[in-house]
Structure 1
Amino acid sequence: MSYAAPTGFAYRPTPWRFQAEWDGSWSEGRLLSDPRLSIEEGATCLHYGQQCFEGLKAYAAPDGTPLLFRPEENARRMARSAERLLLPPPPEELFFAGVRACVRANRDHLPAHGSGASLYVRPVLLGVGDNLGLRPAPRAVFRVFCSPVGPYFADGLRGIRLLVSDEDRVAPRGLGAYKAGGNYAGGLLLAKRAKEQGYDEVLYLDAIEHRYLDEAGSANVYGVAGGTLLTPRSPSILPSITLASLLVLAEEELGLRVERRRVAIDEVADFEEMGCTGTAAVITPVASVRHGEQEWRLPHAPGPRTEELYRLLVGTQTGALPDPRGWRMPVS
C-alpha cells in the first residue's frame, strides 16, 4: 500500500529502523522500533566527528513495488568515506540488507507512484565506545532509518536563487570528497544567512582562488551552454551518484557534450540553463546566481534540456520508463 505524498523535505518517523554493531566483526543486524540511540558520552562520533552517512531514496513503481536507485554506488561511497575516517566499512551485503529491511518494514509509508514524493533512506555509520583521547573508536554502529519526503526545494520547479558565499565550506585535499557529517555543519550558518537575504541556497567557490565553482550547500551544480553540459571538477566536491547518472543521460540520450572541468564563476553569464542535482534536490533548476554586486539571471528555469533530463532521470527512478542500464533495484 502507498499513501499520499508528504510536502517538504523533513523528518517524519517511521515504525522501524535497522541496526548492526561492529566490535571486531559485524553483527547480522536487526530491526528496531526505538528511534533513539544510546551511546557512550565519550563516543568519537560526538567529540571528533568520526562518522559518515549516505542518502538514497525508494520510489514506488507503478505497481507499488519499492525501487532503489543505484544503491551499490551508495554502499561503495560509504565504504570509501569509512576508510578515510578509520571506521569499519559495512560490507556491501550488510549495507543492502539494512536498506532493504528498512524499506520493506516501512513499506506502508512509501508515497504513491507519481506523487513526486519518495521514501528517503539514511544509512549512518557512527564511531562509538568508551573513549577520551583522539584515537579511532573501539566500536561502531551502522543504522538505517527512513522518512517519507516531498521536494527539497518548495519552489524548485520554478527555479531557485543561489548566493555565492565569500567563506569556504571545506579545504582543498581535505574531507570535501567524503560524506562526513562535519562537512555540513560548517555550512549551516552560511545557508541561514543566504535565506535571510531571500536566497534559497548558498553556492561555494574553490577555497584557493575563490574563482571556480565547487558546489551548492546541498547539491552539485551544472550548466548548459550551447550543446555542452558543464559541471565543476574539484577535489573538494562530493562524488554525486545523481550527477554521474545525469551526465550519462545527457551524453547518451540528449546528445550533449559533457565536460567535467574547472568552471569559473564568470562563465555563469554564458549559461542558458543551470541546475542543482543530488539525491535530495533531484534536478532543481536555478533561476539566478548572485556574486557580490553581480547577479546573473538564467534565460530558462527550467530550460528544455533540464526538463528532459528530469523526465529521464525520474522516469528511470520510478519505473515509469525502461531501465536499459540496470540502475533500479526492486525491494520485494
Structure 2
Amino acid sequence: MQSNAVLATLQPNYNILSPSRFYSSSASAAATFLPVFYPQRTRFSAPQYLKLDKQVLASASGRYVHEVKSPFKNAAVLSDSYSSEASELADIEWDNLGFGLLPTDYMYMMKCSQGGNFSKGELQRFGNIELNPSAGVLNYGQGLFEGLKAYRKEDGNILLFRPEENALRMRQGAERMCMPAPTVDQFVEAVKETVLANKRWVPPPGKGSLYIRPLLMGSGAVLGLAPAPEYTFLIYVSPVGNYFKEGVAPINLIVEHELHRATPGGTGGVKTIGNYAAVLKAQSAAKAKGYSDVLYLDCVHKKYLEEVSSCNIFVVKGNVISTPAIKGTILPGITRKSIIDVARSQGFQVEERFVPVDELLDADEVFCTGTAVVVSPVGSITYKGKRVPYGVDGFGAVAQQLYSVLTRLQMGLIDDKMNWTVELS
C-alpha cells in the first residue's frame, strides 16, 4: 500500500496526547509534541494553548512554519504534502544518536476482543494512549513486545530485517500468554505502514537505524485473574544509535549466581514484558559497580550459561562457536538465529548446547547478539571475584567477521543470498 494514500485519510488526533503537555507553559515543551506535518492540503491551525514564540506564514508553499525553541531543529515545521515531507530527513543530530526514545510522527494501532481476530488497524499520531486502571496488562502483566530495525540504503530505499520472524515469535508468545495475535501478514504490513509513515526518521546510511517496537497487550478491564476481554496491538518507532554506552567497544559483564532471569516451565522463552522487569535489580547493581550488564546462569544447577539481560551469549574457542541451547528459559533471539546461520556459512562449527560457566575461563572470545546490540564484543567477564579478559582492543576476529557480514547484509551493502531483507521505497 502506498504510504501517501494511507496518510491522506488521517486527521490530527490530539486526544492521544497527554493533557499535561497541552497545558505546559514552556514553548519548547509544547513544540516537542506538536505534530510534525499534516498530510492533507489544508493549513494547520495550532491550538490556542500551544504557546509558540513566533508564527510565520509561508505563502508560497501554503503552510505555517512555527519558529520555536526545540531539541529538534525543525520539529514544528508542518507540511501540506506527505510525499515531500517524507522525502526529507528529520533535522536532528544524527551523529549523536544514543539508544533512547525520540518521538516520531505516527504509530499504528489495532484491537480485537478475546476469542476474536484482529481486523484492519490504522495509523495515528504518536502520543499517549488511554488505559483503564484495571487493564490486564497493568494488573497481571498480560503483554508482549518485539523489537526489529529498519535501515536506510545509499539509494534512499529502506530495508527491514526478517520481520516475519518477529511476527512468528509474537504469535508463539501470545499462545503462552493466552492472547490473540495478529497474523504474520497483518504484523508485517503494519510494520511496513508504520516505517513508511515515519520514513524521514530512518537515519542516513551508517548513522544508525529506526528501531521498531511492536506491542501486544491486554488492554481490556479485568478485576479477577483472567485473560483480558480486549487486546491492543500497537507499533511505535524511534531512531537509535548504539545500545551500550561503549558503542562498538567491548563491554564488561559480571556473572550473577544468586538472582535468576527465568525458571523451567516459566515464560523465559517468550518475549513477555515481565521478563525484563525481573532483571532490573541485578542489572542496576552491576552498573553501579561499573559493569555494562549481567550474565545469568541456570537456576537449577547454577553453572550453565543462559543469557545477558537483553541479549544472547556466544563463546568462541578455535573454530567452534558455542551458545546455550533453547530449552524454554532462553529467548530464541532472531539475531542469534541469524548469526548461527552466518557463522556456519563462513565455515565455523556452531554448537547449541549446555555451556558450563567454566568454559569462559579459557575462551578465545565472547560476544553477545540481539536486535538492539546487533553483535557486541565482550571485553571481560567477572565471576566470583575473578576477572577474565578477552582480546586487547575492539572486536575479536570472529565477532568482527560475523558483525561485518550481518550488518552489511542488513544495510544492503552485499547481496542478500539468505532472503532475509524486505525492501521498502
Name stretches of at least 5 consecutive residues in structure 2 with no aligned partner.
Answer: 1-87
Tell me which of 286, 293, 301 is aligned to 1:201.
293
Match of 2:218 in 1: 127
Quick one: distance in 1 between partners of 2:308 and 2:154? 33
Matched, 1:27 2:119: yes
- Which residue type is aligned with residue 127 of structure 1? G
Task: Return 151-160 or 293-302, whichever deviates more.
Answer: 293-302
Task: Return 277-286 or 160-169, whichever deviates more.
Answer: 160-169
Quick one: distance in 1 between partners of 2:137 and 2:305? 30
Match of 1:77 in 2: 169
Match of 2:379 in 1: 287
Tell me which of 300, 307, 322 is aligned to 2:400.
307
Question: Relative to 1, partners in 2 of residues 1:156 and 1:261: Cα closer, same or farther, differing over 3 Å?
Answer: farther
Quick one: distance in 1 between partners of 2:219 and 2:97? 34
In the TM superposition, what is the alpha-carbon distance from 1:89 to its structure 2 partner?
1.1
SS in 1 for 2:401: helix
Matched, 1:265 2:357: yes
Tell me which of 140, 145, 152 is aligned to 1:53.
145
Quick one: distance in 2 between partners of 1:39 and 1:5? 36
Matched, 1:317 2:407: no
- Which residue type is aligned with residue 173 of structure 2? S
Quick one: distance in 1 between partners of 2:251 and 2:95? 22
Matched, 1:7 2:97: yes
The answer on whether the counterparts of 1:6 and 1:111 sit within 8 Å (CA) in structure 2 is no
The answer on whether the counterparts of 1:5 and 1:112 sit within 8 Å (CA) in structure 2 is no
Alignment of 1:237-252 (within 5 A): 237-252=330-345
Match of 2:281 in 1: 189
Matched, 1:37 2:137: no
Tell me which of 217, 234, 246 is aligned to 2:309.
217
The answer on whether the counterparts of 1:6 and 1:149 sit within 8 Å (CA) in structure 2 is no
Match of 1:274 in 2: 366
In the TM superposition, what is the alpha-carbon distance from 1:2 to its structure 2 partner?
4.0
In the TM superposition, what is the alpha-carbon distance from 1:34 to its structure 2 partner?
4.0
- Which residue type is aligned with residue 104 of structure 1? L
The answer on whether the counterparts of 1:56 and 1:120 sit within 8 Å (CA) in structure 2 is yes
SS in 2 for 1:157: coil
In the TM superposition, what is the alpha-carbon distance from 1:147 to its structure 2 partner?
0.3
Quick one: distance in 2 between partners of 1:184 and 1:6? 27
Deviation per residue, 1:56-102 (Å, 9 max, x gap): 00011121211110111000000000111011011112111211111
SS in 1 for 2:194: helix
The answer on whether the counterparts of 1:6 and 1:148 sit within 8 Å (CA) in structure 2 is no
The answer on whether the counterparts of 1:121 and 1:144 sit within 8 Å (CA) in structure 2 is yes
Question: Relative to 1, partners in 2 of residues 1:6 and 1:75: Cα closer, same or farther, differing over 3 Å?
Answer: farther
Deviation per residue, 1:78-136 (Å, 9 max, x gap): 00001110110111121112111110000001101122x10000000010212100011
- Give the superposed CA RMSD: 1.2
TM-score normalised by L of structure 1 = 0.97
Quick one: distance in 2 between partners of 1:170 and 1:111? 35
In the TM superposition, what is the alpha-carbon distance from 1:249 to its structure 2 partner?
0.9
In the TM superposition, what is the alpha-carbon distance from 1:295 to its structure 2 partner?
1.4
Deviation per residue, 1:181-228 (Å, 9 max, x gap): 000001111111000001000110001111000000010010110110
Match of 1:150 in 2: 241
Question: Relative to 1, partners in 2 of residues 1:156 and 1:222: Cα closer, same or farther, differing over 3 Å?
Answer: farther
- Which residue type is aligned with residue 287 of structure 1? G
Number of aligned residue pairs: 330
- Which residue type is aligned with residue 223 of structure 1? V
The answer on whether the counterparts of 2:103 and 2:126 sit within 8 Å (CA) in structure 1 is no
TM-score normalised by L of structure 2 = 0.76
Match of 2:12 in 1: none
- Which residue type is aligned with residue 130 of structure 1? A
In the TM superposition, what is the alpha-carbon distance from 1:5 to its structure 2 partner?
4.3
The answer on whether the counterparts of 1:219 and 1:276 sit within 8 Å (CA) in structure 2 is yes
Identical pairs, percent = 40
In the TM superposition, what is the alpha-carbon distance from 1:292 to its structure 2 partner?
1.1
